[in-house]
Amino acid sequence: MSLQLGDVVPNFTQDSSVGELNFYDWAGDSWVILFSHPADYTPVCTTELGVVAKLKDEFAKRNVKVIALSVDDADSHRGWISDINETQNTTVNYPIIADGDKKVSTLYGMIHPNSSTGNTLTVRSVFIIDPNKKLRLTITYPASTGRNFDELLRVIDSLQLTDYHSVATPANWKDGDDCVVVPSIPTDLAREKFPKGVTEVKPYLRLTPQPNK
């Protein structure tokens, strides 16, 4: 299936490095980052999973749970986790889904269409899912390029901010920077709504300090 932004993502029950896992039950009322990797014991992914483990406190501050996936089985995952912990000087503290039957990969459209390994290679995909189980972001990376998880934290910050305030975030925005007033709010109303001030660069481009800071 082809998931679009705003779609409710499908639920699934699947084995994992921590045992059988029902995705909706595990996610609860948290935000979720679900990310796939081509296979266990691969070098780029080893560094990625180590970085994610080290960001545990940052994810927790944002009410985010993380979960990884590959088509290898749970025993393989557990062996690989030992390597990740050793080589990346961390402790993997989140589940890795065992998707040997490719059920989840197929549900979420993770299978690389031009894989040289016989249609078993999951692409390096990322899904950000909100507490309502709606898909809010998807990014697909080539297998040779490691992901930037600081960018994913930045996106979470933006999504959580813009869900509750009538702003958008400009290019290269980071938490604490000025925000864009959404076009649907007239400038006179914006000045009432945002008491910290509104700077009108152009009638369609108005900036205001981050409302929740």
Catalytic sites, residue numbers? 45
Render 23-68 in DSSP notation, one character per residue: HHHHHTTSEEEEEE-S-SS-HHHHHHHHHHHHTHHHHHHTTEEEEE
- Residue closest to 37 by CA, chosen among 23, 47, 25, 27: 47
Bridge partners of residue 64, in order along the sequence: 31
For 16, which DSSP code? B
Cα separation of 123 and 97, whole Å? 15
Q: Look up residue 49 and give its two tokens.
A: 């999973």
Instruction: Check: CB of residue 167 under 8 Å from CB of residue 182.
Output: yes
Cα separation of 36 and 123, whole Å? 7
